[in-house]
Amino acid sequence: PVRRGRPLEDCADGVLDDIELPSGSGPFGIVAGPGRALWFTATNSGVIGRVDLDGTVTEVAHPGGMPSMITAGPDGALWFTLNEANAIGRLEPSGALTVREVPTPRSGPVGIAATHDDAIWFTEILADKIGRIPTDEAAQELDLPGKPHAVVADPSGGVWVSLWGASQVARITADGEVSTVDLIPGGEPHGLAVQRDGNGATALWVAMEAGYLWRLPVG
C-alpha cells in the first residue's frame, strides 16, 4: 500500500509512502542533511530541493546543469555534481549557492561523497578521473583505470569507487594510491554503500546493473 503526504517522522512503519514533487522534475540524488530534512536533486528541472519532516517540499536553488548526486558536507553545506555543466555546486541551508567548474572539460561529474578528512570527492565518468576538493581549496584530480560512477567514504580513510564498464571497484587512499578489485565480468557496478556491523567488521556493498548485489568484506 501507498500512503501519500504523511509527515516523514511518521514513515518508519514499513509502509510505502510517496511525496509528490513538481511534474517533470526528475528526482535523482537524495541525502539526509541540515535542518533534519531530506535534500534532493531534480535532474530535469535543474533544482535542489528539501523535504521537511512534515512533508513540505521546497525548491531551494535552481543551478541548472543537470544536478545529479548530492552529499552533506563537513562544512554544514550540501555539495552536488552538475553533470551537464561540468561543475560542482555547494549550497548553504540559507540558499546561498556557489558553483565551481571541474578542471577537466566535459568530464561528466556524477557521484559525490564527503569523507573523514573534511574533503569532497567526486567522480568524472567521461574523463576516467576522480576529483577531490578540500572544502576551502582548489580541486585535485587523479586518473583511474576505468569510468568511475559512484563514490563512498571508507571508514578507514580514502574512498571506494565503482568503475562502470570495467566490472571493478577501486579503493583510493587519502594519499592517492589506487588499487582495484575485480568483480564478475559484465556486472556493471553502479551504487555503493559501506556497512559496519556490531562486531566492527566492515563490508562494501555494490549494486550491479546485471541485477544483483555484491558484498565485499573490506575490514
- Residue written as cell 570495467? 166
Cβ contact 89:139 at 8 Å: no
Cell numbers linked to 20: 509528490
Catalytic (active-site) positions: 190
The CA dihedral of 72, 117, 110, 9, to the nearest 10 degrees, is: -20
Amino acid 187 reads G
Backbone φ and ψ for 197, nearest 5 degrees, come out as -90, 180
d(CA 139, CA 49): 25
